[in-house]
Amino acid sequence: MANILVIGDGAIGLLLSHFLSQTHNVHVLTRKATANTRFYCKAKQPSQKINAQFITLKQMCEQPAFDIVIFAVKAFQVQTAFTQVKPFLSPNSILIVSHNGMGNVEQINEQLNKQHALYFLTTSMAGFKTNDFIVQHTGEGKSMLGACNSLASNYHQAMCEQLQNVPQLSYCANIEQLRFEKLLVNIAINPLSALYDIKNGQLRAPYFNSIIFNLLTEACQVAHALKLDIKLVDALNNAYNVMTLTAQNYSSMHQDVANNRQTEIDAICGYISKQGKRLSINTPLNDALLAKIQAKKSVV
């Protein structure tokens, strides 16, 4: 049994906490009330108490050393969260980052010592919070763990065993490729669903066909320049498959915009825009969506 710290009690943080607490000692770092019980719900099944302890940053010094620390926060929150918990890391803590979009991994790696293994976890599990204390598990999906430094690569099998309660978990030897593939899905769904205030499935309407095609064409041009083996036809198929599987869901970016929260657009379309400028590749549609979503979001 490992001591695990999950940073963030959003939908994914609560889903991971629910599954991992079945075999591990799990603490969840939150900015909300710690006394309230959190619940996991799925379809018409009875709700279950999430068997984790919820703590604030002020309570971190009272906790045991954590073997595994999972950053289940938005891309723009990772660095701040890492800075806050870094003083409490043990010399051998294992770190896992999980968010939409690209970025952060290189910066975090530079701040770790040689005994810290760093992984990235990407998941297509779907969930949303009906309130601060209830998470609805709305869709099954695969979770892929990938090593982000050599130490993590050496111990990936043991790490997968530690996380085996996460549904449909497997290891990916090329996590950067997989992250970019998921980035393409996010580009096709998140900003458009937020901008047009629609569910994921509504993006399959003919009106969006050319927009999605051109958005992903720009992103695939960036991928090719980065020496990634990504085909446009595969990117389109993946995006439309996810739209179908999550047809009745609102994307995370839609929820952020609807609730006047900061979004991950900088790590999604913003990443393509930034890389495009660096590589001298024109990305006008990604640039435009970046600006439009930035205009909608508030600053936290």
Instruction: Give me the catalytic one of 58, 74, 182, 274.
Output: 182
Show Cβ contacts of residue 62 under 8 Å, excluding neighbours closer than 6 positions: none
**Nearest-angstrom CA–CA distance, 1 and 102:** 31
**Nearest-angstrom CA–CA distance, 243 and 198:** 12
Query: How far, in Å, are 28, 54, 136, 194, 198 from residue 5 at the CA level?
Result: 6, 10, 21, 31, 34
Q: What is the DSSP string of 67-123?
A: SEEEE-S-GGGHHHHHHHHGGG--TT-EEEE--SSS-SHHHHHHTS-TT-EEEEEEE
| 182 labelled catalytic | yes
Q: What share of the chain is helix, strand, coil (3-state, %, to 5)?
A: 50, 20, 35
Show Cβ contacts of residue 215 under 8 Å, excluding neighbours closer than 6 positions: 187, 188, 269, 285, 286, 289
Residue 231: how many other CB atoms lie within 10 Å: 11
Catalytic residues: 182
